[in-house]
Structure 1
C-alpha cells in the first residue's frame, strides 16, 4: 500500500500561548504540514474530516498504543506513560523539554518549540487525527509523494522504535497492510520476551488478571491502553465490579465493542470476545498483536474519500 508523504513541523509548544499548547504523549504529537491541502485529500475510513487549523493537526502514530498520560481526567501508570512520551520527543529531535508543574502535560520550556519532520500517512481516523508513521528531518522525496512503505522504512520510524523498546503496546487496525502488521508484531513479541519497558509490569493480559476495585487503582496499572479506555467510563459511571461489563460493552458496537478480526481463529468477532471480566478481575485473553481492529464505520451517506 502506498502512503502519502507529508513534510512539515512537529510542534510541542506555542510560544504565544504556552499554557494552551499541545499535549504530546507517547503516541500523539501535533504536526503542522507544509501543504494542508494534502491532508484534506487523505482517505477517511470513518468519514471524519481532518481536524486541522492554522496550528496544525494531531498526528496519531500508526500501530502503537502508549500508556495514557491523560484521558478523561485520568491517566495510566505515569512512569511508563512519561517514558514513552519522552522517548518520542527525543526521537523527533526535541531537547531540553520541561513541563509545567501545575499542567504536567503541557510543555513549559524546550530548546525547540517545533522541529522539521515528516509523516507517512494513509488516512484520517474517527477523531479527525492524521494517522501515520513519523520521522525526524526532511526526506529525499517531495511533499505529497506516494511512497511504497516497506519493512526497512518502517524500522526507521519512531513508531517502530517505541515498539522495539517496549514503550508501547501494539494496536493494529485494518488500514495497516498485512505485511507491515506481521513485521511489527514480531517486534512486539520480541520486546515482551525480553521484558523490555512496560512489559515488565504489564497486567490484565494473557499472562494474568488484574484486580481493579476502583478507578484510582486502575490508574496505577500497566495494561493495554484500549482496554483501559473502556474501563474508565464504565467505572466512572459508578460500577463497583465487572458484573455488567460484558453487557455494557455489547450495547455499543462503535464506541465500546469494536469489531475485530481474530487472526488465530481466522474469524470475525468483537472486543468482548477478547476480554474476560468478573468480580473485580479483568483480563485481555489474547495478545493485542493477534487481532485486527476495524475503524469506526462512516455514517450512512458520508463519503470516505474527497472528490
Structure 2
C-alpha cells in the first residue's frame, strides 16, 4: 500500500494529546502540501510545519468530546494516551492543571508519519512511527504488515487500549492485520476489553453512566452523547441514528449501510448495544 512518508518530530508542549491524537512537526513544512497527492483536503499546519495527527484505524476513549468536553471512563482514556506518549519516547510528562501538557522529557522526539490524506478538521490521518524513517521523506513508500507493526497504531491495538475503527482508505491487508491483533487482544483480556460492553449492552441511565461507567466504542459514545443532550427518551435513539446517516459497510455480510440504527439496538428501555463487532465495520472516509 503506497503512503506518503514525512519525517519530523513529535512536540506535545501546549497541546492536549489523547490516545489517537498528537502533534507532529514536519522537518520540511512544504511536504504537507503533498498529502493526498497534492489534491483533496489540505493538512492544516503552522508556518513551522506543526500539524495535528489523527491516528489511522484506531479510536481511543474520549478525554474531551464536544462543547461539554465530555469524557469516557478516564482510566482507559488516559492509559491509551500515556502509552502512546511512552511508545513515542516521552517521559515525565507534566500536566499540572488538567489535560494540557506544560513540559516533557525530552522536549521533542524524532519520528515519521505515513499518510494518504487529511480529515474534515484538517488533521493528517496517519500511521505514526518513532525514530528514523524507513525511506525518503516526501516520497511514497510501500507500507506492508511488518512496517505497520512498528507503528504506535498497531502497538495500541496489541495492548488492547484502543478500538479498531476502519475507514475505506485503509488497505485490506493492513486492516486484516489490525483486526487479527484486535481479536488476539480481546481474547487475552488485554487493556479495556474485559470492561467493554459495546456488543453485550451498555446500561445508560444518563450522561454520567456514559462518562464514568460504561466502556464502549468511541463512535457509539459520541453519537449517544449527542442524543442525550437532546433530552429525549432513549426509545427514540434509533430514529436519531437513522438521521445522522453514518455510512459504512459490514464486512461479514457485504452490506453497505447508511445509519447506525441498522446495527444498534435499544432493549429494556435503557440498554444500548451494537450487533456487530467494531472490526467488522468499514466506515466511509471522514
TM-score range for the pair, normalised by the shorter chain length: over 0.9
The answer for the alignment partner of 2:242 in structure 1 is 250
- Find the residue that maps to 1:197 and give its secondary structure: coil
> How many residues get paired?
280
Task: Give the Cα–Cα distance (whole angstroms) in 2 for the partners of residues 124 and 136 of structure 1.
Answer: 20
Question: Are 1:47 and 1:126, in contact at CA under 8 Å, matched by a contact in 2?
Answer: no
Task: Give the Cα–Cα distance (whole angstroms) in 2 for the partners of residues 145 and 48 of structure 1.
Answer: 18
TM-score normalised to the size of structure 1? Answer: 0.87
Question: Are 1:126 and 1:295, in contact at CA under 8 Å, matched by a contact in 2?
Answer: no
Displacement, 1:54? 3.1
- Find the residue that maps to 2:85 and give its secondary structure: helix
Task: Give the Cα–Cα distance (whole angstroms) in 2 for the partners of residues 54 and 6 of structure 1.
Answer: 16
1:53-73 alpha-carbon deviations (Å, 9 max, x no partner): 236111011111111111121
Matched, 1:282 2:278: no
- Find the residue that maps to 1:268 and give its secondary structure: strand
- Find the residue that maps to 1:219 and give its secondary structure: helix
Displacement, 1:216? 1.1
The answer for the alignment partner of 1:268 in structure 2 is 256
The answer for the alignment partner of 1:4 in structure 2 is 4
- 1:70 corresponds to which of 60, 64, 73: 64
Greater RCO, CA 8 A, separation 6+: 1
Displacement, 1:140? 4.3
- 1:33 corresponds to which of 26, 41, 61: 26
- 1:89 corresponds to which of 62, 68, 85: 85
Question: After superposition, where does 1:224-243 map in structure 2 within 5 Å?
Answer: 224-239=217-232, 241-243=233-235
TM-score normalised to the size of structure 2? Answer: 0.93
Q: In the superposition, relative to structure 1, how do residues 10 and 281 fare at CA in structure 2: closer, same or farther (>3 Å)?
A: same
Task: Give the Cα–Cα distance (whole angstroms) in 1 for the partners of residues 134 and 235 of structure 2.
Answer: 55
The answer for the alignment partner of 1:210 in structure 2 is 202
Question: How large is the Cα RMSD of the aligned pairs?
Answer: 1.7
List gaps (5 residues or longer) in structure 1. 14-20, 297-307
Question: After superposition, where does 1:187-226 map in structure 2 within 5 Å?
Answer: 187-205=181-199, 208-220=200-212, 221-226=214-219
1:260-296 alpha-carbon deviations (Å, 9 max, x no partner): 1111111211322221124211011100100110014
Displacement, 1:145? 2.1
Displacement, 1:11? 1.1
The answer for the alignment partner of 2:283 in structure 1 is 293
Task: Give the Cα–Cα distance (whole angstroms) in 1 for the partners of residues 144 and 208 of structure 2.
Answer: 42
Question: Are 1:260 and 1:293, in contact at CA under 8 Å, matched by a contact in 2?
Answer: yes
Question: Are 2:34 and 2:138, in contact at CA under 8 Å, matched by a contact in 1?
Answer: no
Task: Give the Cα–Cα distance (whole angstroms) in 2 for the partners of residues 128 and 76 of structure 1.
Answer: 24
Task: Give the Cα–Cα distance (whole angstroms) in 2 for the partners of residues 5 and 95 of structure 1.
Answer: 26
The answer for the alignment partner of 1:16 in structure 2 is none
* Larger mean Cα displacement after TM superposition, 163-172 or 269-278: 269-278
- Find the residue that maps to 1:96 and give its secondary structure: strand
Task: Give the Cα–Cα distance (whole angstroms) in 2 for the partners of residues 202 and 90 of structure 1.
Answer: 24
List gaps (5 residues or longer) in structure 2. none
